[in-house]
Chain A
Amino acid sequence: GAVVSQHPSRVICKSGTSVKIECRSLDFQATTMFWYRQFPKQSLMLMATSNEGSKATYEQGVEKDKFLINHASLTLSTLTVTSAHPEDSSFYICSATDRSGANVLTFGAGSRLTVL
Protein backbone atom coordinates (compact mmCIF):
# COMPACT_ATOMS: atom_id res chain seq x y z
CA GLY A 1 0.00 0.00 0.00
CA ALA A 2 0.87 3.66 -0.13
CA VAL A 3 3.54 4.77 2.31
CA VAL A 4 4.23 8.29 3.50
CA SER A 5 7.43 9.01 5.35
CA GLN A 6 7.79 12.03 7.59
CA HIS A 7 11.01 13.36 9.09
CA PRO A 8 12.01 14.25 11.73
CA SER A 9 9.68 12.47 14.10
CA ARG A 10 10.67 14.75 16.93
CA VAL A 11 12.41 18.09 17.05
CA ILE A 12 13.21 20.52 19.82
CA CYS A 13 14.31 24.01 18.96
CA LYS A 14 14.87 27.37 20.55
CA SER A 15 12.39 30.17 20.15
CA GLY A 16 13.12 32.24 17.06
CA THR A 17 14.69 29.49 15.01
CA SER A 18 13.22 27.82 11.95
CA VAL A 19 12.42 24.15 11.61
CA LYS A 20 11.88 22.14 8.45
CA ILE A 21 9.73 19.01 8.31
CA GLU A 22 9.87 16.72 5.30
CA CYS A 23 7.09 14.58 3.92
CA ARG A 24 7.82 11.98 1.27
CA SER A 25 5.63 9.59 -0.65
CA LEU A 26 7.70 6.44 -0.98
CA ASP A 27 5.92 4.34 -3.55
CA PHE A 28 3.65 6.69 -5.42
CA GLN A 29 3.59 10.13 -6.92
CA ALA A 30 1.77 12.53 -4.66
CA THR A 31 0.10 15.21 -6.71
CA THR A 32 -1.43 16.63 -3.56
CA MET A 33 -0.16 16.74 -0.02
CA PHE A 34 -1.97 17.97 3.05
CA TRP A 35 -0.50 19.34 6.26
CA TYR A 36 -2.36 18.96 9.52
CA ARG A 37 -1.64 20.06 13.04
CA GLN A 38 -2.86 18.45 16.22
CA PHE A 39 -2.75 20.03 19.65
CA PRO A 40 -2.98 17.73 22.68
CA LYS A 41 -6.32 15.99 22.97
CA GLN A 42 -7.72 17.90 20.04
CA SER A 43 -8.70 17.13 16.49
CA LEU A 44 -6.46 17.17 13.44
CA MET A 45 -6.76 20.61 11.91
CA LEU A 46 -6.00 21.09 8.24
CA MET A 47 -3.37 23.77 7.78
CA ALA A 48 -2.80 23.78 4.05
CA THR A 49 -3.07 21.85 0.83
CA SER A 50 -0.12 21.73 -1.50
CA ASN A 51 -0.15 20.71 -5.12
CA GLU A 52 3.07 19.85 -6.91
CA GLY A 53 4.51 22.83 -8.71
CA SER A 54 2.08 25.40 -7.41
CA LYS A 55 1.60 27.51 -4.33
CA ALA A 56 -0.01 25.99 -1.30
CA THR A 57 -3.55 26.85 -0.32
CA TYR A 58 -3.76 27.79 3.34
CA GLU A 59 -6.75 27.40 5.61
CA GLN A 60 -8.23 30.42 7.29
CA GLY A 61 -6.20 31.52 10.25
CA VAL A 62 -2.97 29.82 9.16
CA GLU A 63 -0.15 32.28 8.50
CA LYS A 64 1.43 31.47 5.17
CA ASP A 65 4.55 33.47 5.98
CA LYS A 66 5.07 31.53 9.15
CA PHE A 67 4.34 28.07 7.79
CA LEU A 68 6.17 27.85 4.49
CA ILE A 69 5.18 24.92 2.34
CA ASN A 70 7.13 23.78 -0.68
CA HIS A 71 5.99 20.93 -2.93
CA ALA A 72 8.74 20.96 -5.50
CA SER A 73 8.46 17.36 -6.62
CA LEU A 74 5.86 14.62 -6.84
CA THR A 75 7.36 12.81 -3.90
CA LEU A 76 8.41 15.56 -1.52
CA SER A 77 6.71 18.36 0.36
CA THR A 78 8.30 20.39 3.12
CA LEU A 79 6.83 22.47 5.90
CA THR A 80 9.08 25.12 7.40
CA VAL A 81 8.02 26.73 10.65
CA THR A 82 9.77 30.07 10.57
CA SER A 83 10.75 31.97 13.70
CA ALA A 84 9.13 29.33 15.85
CA HIS A 85 7.61 30.27 19.18
CA PRO A 86 6.40 28.10 22.05
CA GLU A 87 2.80 28.37 20.86
CA ASP A 88 3.87 26.62 17.64
CA SER A 89 4.68 23.52 19.64
CA SER A 90 2.40 20.87 18.25
CA PHE A 91 2.17 17.59 16.38
CA TYR A 92 2.43 18.15 12.65
CA ILE A 93 1.19 15.43 10.31
CA CYS A 94 1.37 15.26 6.55
CA SER A 95 -0.69 13.16 4.19
CA ALA A 96 -0.57 12.53 0.50
CA THR A 97 -2.70 11.34 -2.35
CA ASP A 98 -2.03 10.50 -5.95
CA ARG A 99 -5.51 11.67 -6.87
CA SER A 100 -6.21 8.39 -8.64
CA GLY A 101 -9.75 8.57 -7.45
CA ALA A 102 -9.13 6.97 -4.11
CA ASN A 103 -10.66 8.79 -1.20
CA VAL A 104 -8.31 7.43 1.42
CA LEU A 105 -5.48 9.64 2.56
CA THR A 106 -2.30 8.01 3.76
CA PHE A 107 -0.67 9.80 6.64
CA GLY A 108 2.89 10.11 7.79
CA ALA A 109 3.85 9.23 11.33
CA GLY A 110 3.88 12.87 12.37
CA SER A 111 6.47 15.25 13.75
CA ARG A 112 6.42 16.47 17.31
CA LEU A 113 7.73 20.03 17.48
CA THR A 114 8.68 21.49 20.83
CA VAL A 115 9.78 25.11 20.91
CA LEU A 116 11.59 26.15 24.06
Chain B
Amino acid sequence: DQQVKQNSPSLSVQEGRISILNCDYTNSMFDYFLWYKKYPAEGPTFLISISSIKDKNEDGRFTVFLNKSAKHLSLHIVPSQPGDSAVYFCAAWVTDKLIFGTGTRLQVFP
Protein backbone atom coordinates (compact mmCIF):
# COMPACT_ATOMS: atom_id res chain seq x y z
CA ASP B 1 0.00 0.00 0.00
CA GLN B 2 1.74 3.12 -1.28
CA GLN B 3 0.92 5.89 1.18
CA VAL B 4 2.88 8.52 -0.70
CA LYS B 5 2.42 8.68 -4.45
CA GLN B 6 4.01 10.64 -7.21
CA ASN B 7 1.84 9.94 -10.21
CA SER B 8 4.18 11.41 -12.80
CA PRO B 9 7.21 9.17 -13.23
CA SER B 10 8.91 11.75 -15.39
CA LEU B 11 8.84 15.43 -16.29
CA SER B 12 10.70 17.34 -18.95
CA VAL B 13 11.08 21.11 -18.67
CA GLN B 14 12.97 23.71 -20.61
CA GLU B 15 15.72 25.61 -18.83
CA GLY B 16 14.45 28.81 -17.28
CA ARG B 17 10.87 27.58 -17.01
CA ILE B 18 9.06 26.39 -13.91
CA SER B 19 9.14 22.74 -12.87
CA ILE B 20 6.19 21.53 -10.84
CA LEU B 21 6.44 18.16 -9.17
CA ASN B 22 3.40 16.73 -7.47
CA CYS B 23 2.85 14.35 -4.61
CA ASP B 24 -0.29 12.86 -3.08
CA TYR B 25 -0.64 11.08 0.21
CA THR B 26 -3.31 9.01 1.85
CA ASN B 27 -2.49 9.13 5.54
CA SER B 28 -3.88 12.15 7.37
CA MET B 29 -1.48 11.42 10.25
CA PHE B 30 1.50 12.63 8.24
CA ASP B 31 2.75 15.75 10.01
CA TYR B 32 5.91 16.75 8.21
CA PHE B 33 6.83 16.56 4.56
CA LEU B 34 10.14 16.73 2.77
CA TRP B 35 11.49 16.77 -0.75
CA TYR B 36 14.72 15.00 -1.60
CA LYS B 37 16.77 15.03 -4.76
CA LYS B 38 18.60 11.93 -5.86
CA TYR B 39 21.17 11.10 -8.47
CA PRO B 40 21.80 7.51 -9.61
CA ALA B 41 23.98 5.47 -7.26
CA GLU B 42 23.91 8.20 -4.63
CA GLY B 43 21.94 8.80 -1.47
CA PRO B 44 19.11 11.35 -1.44
CA THR B 45 19.94 14.92 -0.53
CA PHE B 46 17.51 17.12 1.30
CA LEU B 47 15.94 20.04 -0.56
CA ILE B 48 13.10 21.58 1.38
CA SER B 49 10.46 20.66 3.92
CA ILE B 50 7.13 21.81 5.27
CA SER B 51 5.22 21.22 8.46
CA SER B 52 1.57 20.24 8.29
CA ILE B 53 0.65 23.47 10.06
CA LYS B 54 1.86 25.52 7.11
CA ASP B 55 0.77 25.70 3.51
CA LYS B 56 3.88 27.14 1.91
CA ASN B 57 7.61 27.19 2.43
CA GLU B 58 10.11 28.89 0.19
CA ASP B 59 13.88 28.56 -0.11
CA GLY B 60 15.51 30.27 -3.03
CA ARG B 61 14.36 28.70 -6.26
CA PHE B 62 12.40 26.02 -4.41
CA THR B 63 8.91 26.39 -3.01
CA VAL B 64 6.79 23.67 -1.48
CA PHE B 65 3.02 23.99 -1.25
CA LEU B 66 0.83 21.86 0.98
CA ASN B 67 -2.91 21.39 0.55
CA LYS B 68 -4.02 19.32 3.52
CA SER B 69 -7.64 19.07 2.49
CA ALA B 70 -6.59 17.54 -0.81
CA LYS B 71 -3.70 15.60 0.76
CA HIS B 72 -1.48 17.03 -1.90
CA LEU B 73 1.86 18.77 -1.97
CA SER B 74 3.91 20.16 -4.78
CA LEU B 75 7.44 21.35 -5.35
CA HIS B 76 8.02 24.33 -7.61
CA ILE B 77 11.44 25.01 -9.03
CA VAL B 78 11.87 28.31 -10.78
CA PRO B 79 13.83 28.99 -12.83
CA SER B 80 14.74 25.43 -13.68
CA GLN B 81 18.37 24.71 -14.45
CA PRO B 82 20.04 21.75 -16.19
CA GLY B 83 21.70 20.87 -12.88
CA ASP B 84 18.24 20.25 -11.44
CA SER B 85 17.94 17.13 -13.58
CA ALA B 86 17.57 14.25 -11.12
CA VAL B 87 14.94 12.09 -9.47
CA TYR B 88 12.85 13.91 -6.90
CA PHE B 89 11.19 12.12 -4.01
CA CYS B 90 8.61 13.50 -1.66
CA ALA B 91 8.62 11.96 1.79
CA ALA B 92 6.47 12.15 4.87
CA TRP B 93 6.94 11.43 8.55
CA VAL B 94 4.51 9.24 10.40
CA THR B 95 5.12 7.53 13.74
CA ASP B 96 8.90 7.91 13.61
CA LYS B 97 9.20 6.62 10.06
CA LEU B 98 10.05 8.54 6.94
CA ILE B 99 8.02 7.19 4.05
CA PHE B 100 9.07 7.96 0.50
CA GLY B 101 7.03 8.50 -2.62
CA THR B 102 7.66 6.73 -5.88
CA GLY B 103 9.80 9.47 -7.39
CA THR B 104 9.65 11.74 -10.43
CA ARG B 105 12.51 11.99 -12.87
CA LEU B 106 13.01 15.62 -13.85
CA GLN B 107 14.91 16.48 -16.96
CA VAL B 108 15.75 20.11 -17.65
CA PHE B 109 16.86 20.70 -21.20
CA PRO B 110 18.54 23.80 -22.66
Using a CB–CB distance below 8 Å, which chain A residues touch chain B? 4, 6, 9, 32, 34, 36, 41-46, 49, 91, 93, 95, 103-110, 112
Whether A44 lies near B34 (C-beta < 8 A) is no
Please give, as numbers and ranges, the residues of chain A lying within 8 Å of B46 by CB-CB distance: 104-106
| Closest-CB distance, B53 to chain A (whole angstroms) | 13
Please give, as numbers and ranges, the residues of chain B lying within 8 Å of A106 by CB-CB distance: 46
| Residue ID in chain B nearest A110 by CB atoms | B43
In the bound assembly, the distance between CA atoms of A43 and B32 in angstroms comes to 19
Q: Chain B: how many interface residues by the 8 Å CB criterion?
A: 21
Please give, as numbers and ranges, the residues of chain B lying within 8 Å of A34 by CB-CB distance: 97-98
| Closest-CB distance, B24 to chain A (whole angstroms) | 14
Whether B42 lies near A110 (C-beta < 8 A) is yes
| Closest-CB distance, A1 to chain B (whole angstroms) | 9
Given that A42-B102, A103-B49, A104-B46 are known contacts, is A110 also in contact with B41, CB under 8 Å in the complex? yes
In the bound assembly, the distance between CA atoms of A100 and B89 in angstroms comes to 24
Please give, as numbers and ranges, the residues of chain A lying within 8 Å of B43 by CB-CB distance: 4, 6, 93, 95, 107-110
Asked if B13 CB lies within 8 Å of chain A CBs, one says no
16 contacting pairs across A/B (C-beta < 8 A): A6-B43, A32-B96, A43-B101, A44-B89, A46-B97, A49-B97, A95-B43, A95-B98, A103-B49, A104-B46, A105-B46, A106-B46, A107-B44, A108-B43, A109-B43, A112-B41
Whether A46 lies near B49 (C-beta < 8 A) is no
Please give, as numbers and ranges, the residues of chain B lying within 8 Å of A103 by CB-CB distance: 32, 34, 49, 93
| Residue ID in chain A nearest B98 by CB atoms | A105
Whether B41 lies near A43 (C-beta < 8 A) is no
Whether B49 lies near A104 (C-beta < 8 A) is yes
Q: Which one of A4, A32, A45, A104 has the greatest number of beta carbons of chain B within 10 Å?
A: A104
In the bound assembly, the distance between CA atoms of A77 and B102 in angstroms comes to 26
Asked if B100 CB lies within 8 Å of chain A CBs, one says yes
Please give, as numbers and ranges, the residues of chain A lying within 8 Å of B32 by CB-CB distance: 103
Q: Which one of B32, B96, B102 has the greatest number of beta carbons of chain A within 10 Å?
A: B96
In the bound assembly, the distance between CA atoms of A34 and B2 in angstroms comes to 19
Interface 0/1 of B75-98, CB less than 8 Å to A:
000000000000001000100111
